[in-house]
Structure 1
Amino acid sequence: MTDAQAITMPRAGDVPAGVGPVGAIVMAWASGYQALVRAVVFGDDVRR
């Protein structure tokens, strides 16, 4: 993911109108999953 994509990615609590609670949960899970994958692939320390 590039920095530009990170900036445009919706944050948790910044949910577009019409997505609803399920969409919000999915987006939050997806962002957490991306962080986990980045940690595994790039060796980032997620336990801060």
Structure 2
Amino acid sequence: MRHSVFLTIKLVILISIFLIPFAVISENIIIRFITGSLLGISLIILFPLL
């Protein structure tokens, strides 16, 4: 029983170590996409006014 719990904990730690950088990268991509789309929309809205 204890052995399996230890194995699952080890697996979770390994998975989290591998997934954290991917999560950070994907978050950065999402943030860039949102900021870029907002900038694009604001430029499209403001450009005719300029």
Please report the TM-score for the alignment, with normalisation by the length of structure 1. Answer: 0.48
Larger Rg: 2
Please report the TM-score for the alignment, with normalisation by the length of structure 2. Answer: 0.46
Relative contact order, CA 8 A, sep 6+: which one is greater? Answer: 1
